[in-house]
Structure 1
Amino acid sequence: MTDSGPGGPAGIPTRSSSRPTSDSEPGAPRPGSSAATTARSVERLTRGRRTGLLLILILGSLTALPALSMDLYLPALPALGGELGGAASQVQLTLTTCLLGLAVGQIVVGPMSDRFGRRRPLLIGMAGYVLASAACALAPTMAALTAFRLVQGLAGAAGIVIARAVVRDLFDGLAMARFFSTLMLVSGAAPVLAPVFGGQLLRVTDWRGIFLTLAVVGTLLALVAARWLPETLPADRRHGGGVREALRTMRTLLRDRVFTGYLLAGSLTFAALFAYVAASPFVVQEIYGASPQTFGLLFMVNSIGLVATGQLNGRVLVGRVRLDTVIGAGLVVTGTAALALLLMTTGVFGDVGLAAVAAGLFVLMSGMALVLPNASSQGLMRAGHAAGTASALIGTSQFLVGAIASPLVGIAGEHTAVPMALTQLSVIVLAAGCFLVMCRPWRQHD
């Protein structure tokens, strides 16, 4: 496979076009058939500036939902622990369980969407997300909140895995890589705005009000998707098998060394992101004494770097520079930033203060935008029509590795940032190793 076209492992069929076939073309679906109806709906959605923007907003919002679920209550973590009587490690466990739910939920919903279509699993998942968010707001104990967060993650997984599968339904090759980068305009707004909005919400409510806000957001997003997102997987392209066939498809994908290499490279980089998400409230507020509002502002600045670099990737680099080259450059940037953070937090440069640490985190976050969308695109280009299953594997791997990395940042307590920096450097080095050994970016892929 090259960077400019689709490919796939043996046994996984691929599509040769990034657009649905129109009814007038040879081999088009019969007029009035389910496939023809789906094709017309998809064609209307992808044609025209207004409908294209609507598609970006819907899919970007679905992709952003997990980040919103994590980031909106970040400024409230210290206060939440005080009210429910939990230590920093117990509070961070509420992040971990949500990540685990997102990981497990995707591996279930992805194959379901390949069998039943995209809309039905999405709407069921969104309904579950709303109910779980409301339950989190009413949680009486830390244990109950942790359990409800697991359910929230399980249900919220539908949005991110199906959004990624819909993109694969509609686009191939470089067009898919560009669309993923464009989605970062919307999905990236969640980490930009959520901590700031969460900090301001804390002026008028507490952490329970934040979870009620998530329930309202989930309700609105479910209504929008139900009204304007059509089915993108026609009946004749769905899998009729059950669990056994889904497992067989996953096994086929994972046997593809290159697909698995992109999956691991993206997932380990994602772990560095969640190490930052889990540790930054305590690093900024407890170690450096900043307010929740200051933390939200710094988080916003770092997220702007992620979004801006994502747009540089989609608008300038994709199509001009090989995607593997961009991924490699992103791993170098993030690895260098993680090493600098480790040296700063261990005192090698003396007492550097919050500004220097924030600068290192800004570079780290920005570099991730060169790795994450391109690694997902390269992996999905090898997945053919099993987009839901491939999307599930990618998403599950990301959130599972993130769930493992998140508690590591608090292993030495909440008064040192060394575990955060060490975790970030370790996972990025592993990501680079997987990318070089398994993807072999100097070669053209079959």
Structure 2
Amino acid sequence: MTATHSAPPSAEPSRLHRLPIQQLIVLGLLCGVSPFATDMYLPSFTSMQADLHTTASLVQLTLTTFLVGFAFGQLIIGPVSDRFGRRRPLLIATAVFAIANAVCALAPGVWIFIGARFLAGFAGSAGLVIGRAIVSDRVSGQRAARSLSVLLMISSVAPVVAPLAGGALVGPVGWRGIFWVLTGLAVVMFVGALLLLPESLHARHRSTEGIREAMATGRSLLRDRQFSANVAVYAFGFGAMMAYVSASPFVVQNVYGLTAREYSYDFAANASMLTVSFAANAYFVPRVGMHRMRAIGVGGLFGSTLTFAALTFAGAPPRPIMLLLLAINVGSLGLTSSNSTALAMSRARHAAGTGSALIGALQFGFGSLMSPLVGLGGADTAVPMAVVMLGCATAAVSASMFARLPKGEPDLRSRPDPDYVDEASIPSPMI
């Protein structure tokens, strides 16, 4: 136990030169909850369908309910932590997340499993919302940027590691064993938060804003065309991603005949494109500008999706072609998400917490609607996935037209204040 923990509750936490590495590791795990909780069990979708005696659509609904819970939880838990502090809500939510995953592992039927997944999503959202807020509470300026970069790196690596782990585990321990692993991971997060993360928000800095005031602030942001249009670009792009995520286990295993482990390799390879696109974006944004990088991302998203859909309508494309197009699709979303989020948050500096909650809620809320749609056409064809992805990509292009750079304004290449770092501008985990 560090000296920070032994400080009296009334003592105000001081700003640090840098966060200790052990705290960054715990915060990174907390921020990576979504990819671990969604991607690790994707390779077991087909075996879950058989074991639970259910349909492909209901198995995909388990992903949908997690995303709905994750979206709703951000709207509730974020303001709660602003009002009551970070530590207690985080510990309670992480404990609930562990319990919900244990219920998933023991679920006798699909409907209990679906309910537990909603609870896991709701509680798991605390890791992302509160984790980013703790960094903002404790460090500032360029030091905060470096700390947040570590969290972003972990969240972009999680979609690569999680499906590989799931593919390796589904054979030896089955899908129930995967959820016991998630339960154990949640326990590790809880213990880490309990021992290593002190309260970071002093009582004098806690919000006193009521629900009515928060709703008024949210409505004001949504009436801002630049904010709403950029959020829509992000949400539609994420919808295309979730159509791919929820349908790909069935498409790759049933249409292309791959095993669960082989599917996990394909998924991880595509997910690694997020890390590549984040790095490319960091290099080119200062030289090209956020609006142009977002436009490149939207163009790549639409072009790759249109080509994939055309080939799918003519018959399942060869696997290498499919992998290439989906890799371009995922990489393009990395460019789209980074710049759309930053541009939206540039319009919400006066209400960063509310802006962050709206972005996360709309992102995961819209994504949750796309997941069950791809299951309506059955589990033995890629056509529904292609149709939903193309619809989302087309909508993203349309939204980007409303988010174009106003005439006469310079493109944003970096933040005007080099010491200003907004944790909300870090994109939420993609997959």
1:106-135 CA distance string (max 9 Å, x none): 111121122223333222211110110111
Amino acid at match of 1:401: F
User: Structure 2: which 5+ runs fail to align?
Assistant: 1-6, 413-431
Pairing 1:187–2:155 present: yes
CA distance in 1, matches of 2:298, 2:150: 21
Amino acid at match of 2:313: T
Pairing 1:391–2:359 present: no
| TM-aligned CA deviation for residue 245 of structure 1 | 2.4
Does the Cα contact within 8 Å between 1:72 and 1:195 map onto a contact in 2? Answer: yes
Pairing 1:208–2:176 present: yes
- Which residue of 432, 435, 446 maps to 2:397? 432
Does the Cα contact within 8 Å between 2:71 and 2:365 map onto a contact in 1? Answer: yes
Pairing 1:57–2:25 present: yes
- Which residue of 310, 329, 332 maps to 2:296? 329
| CA shift in 2, pair 1:261/1:181, >3 Å | farther
| CA shift in 2, pair 1:334/1:66, >3 Å | same
CA distance in 2, matches of 1:36, 1:100: 37
Does the Cα contact within 8 Å between 1:273 and 1:365 map onto a contact in 2? Answer: yes
Q: CA RMSD in A?
A: 2.7
1:131-170 CA distance string (max 9 Å, x none): 1011111111111111111111111111122234445557
In structure 2, the residue matched to 1:313 is 281
CA distance in 1, matches of 2:342, 2:36: 23
Does the Cα contact within 8 Å between 2:266 and 2:323 map onto a contact in 1? Answer: yes
| CA shift in 2, pair 1:278/1:162, >3 Å | same
| CA shift in 2, pair 1:363/1:151, >3 Å | same
In structure 1, the residue matched to 2:369 is 404
Counterpart mapping for 1:11-160 below 5 A: 37-38=12-13, 40=14, 42-46=15-19, 51=20, 54=22, 56-160=24-128
CA distance in 1, matches of 2:396, 2:142: 23
| CA shift in 2, pair 1:94/1:69, >3 Å | same
Pairing 1:362–2:327 present: yes
Amino acid at match of 2:358: L
Where 2:171 maps in the other structure, the secondary structure is coil
| CA shift in 2, pair 1:383/1:137, >3 Å | same
In structure 2, the residue matched to 1:444 is 409
| CA shift in 2, pair 1:245/1:340, >3 Å | same
Moved more, 179-188 or 244-253: 179-188
Does the Cα contact within 8 Å between 1:98 and 1:153 map onto a contact in 2? Answer: yes
| CA shift in 2, pair 1:283/1:181, >3 Å | farther
CA distance in 2, matches of 1:416, 1:340: 17
Q: Which runs of 4+ in 1 moved over 6 A?
A: 32-36, 170-179
Among all aligned residue pairs of Structure 1 and Structure 2, give the percentage whose two residues are the same amino acid. Answer: 38
In structure 2, the residue matched to 1:28 is none
CA distance in 2, matches of 1:325, 1:181: 22
Does the Cα contact within 8 Å between 1:162 and 1:388 map onto a contact in 2? Answer: no
CA distance in 1, matches of 2:130, 2:288: 28
- Which residue of 396, 412, 420 maps to 2:385? 420
CA distance in 2, matches of 1:368, 1:87: 30
Does the Cα contact within 8 Å between 1:71 and 1:191 map onto a contact in 2? Answer: yes
CA distance in 1, matches of 2:43, 2:191: 28
1:5-38 CA distance string (max 9 Å, x none): xxxxxxxxxxxxxxxxxxxxxxxxxxx9999833
In structure 1, the residue matched to 2:243 is 275
Q: Alignment length, in residue pairs?
A: 405
In structure 2, the residue matched to 1:14 is none
In structure 1, the residue matched to 2:417 is none
1:244-285 CA distance string (max 9 Å, x none): 222222223222222222221111111111111101101100
- Which residue of 344, 348, 362 maps to 2:311? 344
Amino acid at match of 2:342: S
| CA shift in 2, pair 1:76/1:420, >3 Å | same
CA distance in 2, matches of 1:443, 1:435: 18
| CA shift in 2, pair 1:155/1:33, >3 Å | closer
| CA shift in 2, pair 1:232/1:422, >3 Å | farther
Moved more, 198-207 or 381-390: 381-390
1:311-332 CA distance string (max 9 Å, x none): 2222x12333311221111111
| TM-aligned CA deviation for residue 374 of structure 1 | 2.5
Pairing 1:244–2:237 present: no
| TM-aligned CA deviation for residue 55 of structure 1 | 5.7
In structure 1, the residue matched to 2:258 is 290
Where 2:377 maps in the other structure, the secondary structure is coil
Moved more, 165-174 or 214-223: 165-174
Does the Cα contact within 8 Å between 2:251 and 2:380 map onto a contact in 1? Answer: yes
Pairing 1:374–2:339 present: yes
User: Structure 1: which 5+ runs fail to align?
Assistant: 1-31
| TM-aligned CA deviation for residue 434 of structure 1 | 1.8
| TM-aligned CA deviation for residue 297 of structure 1 | 0.4
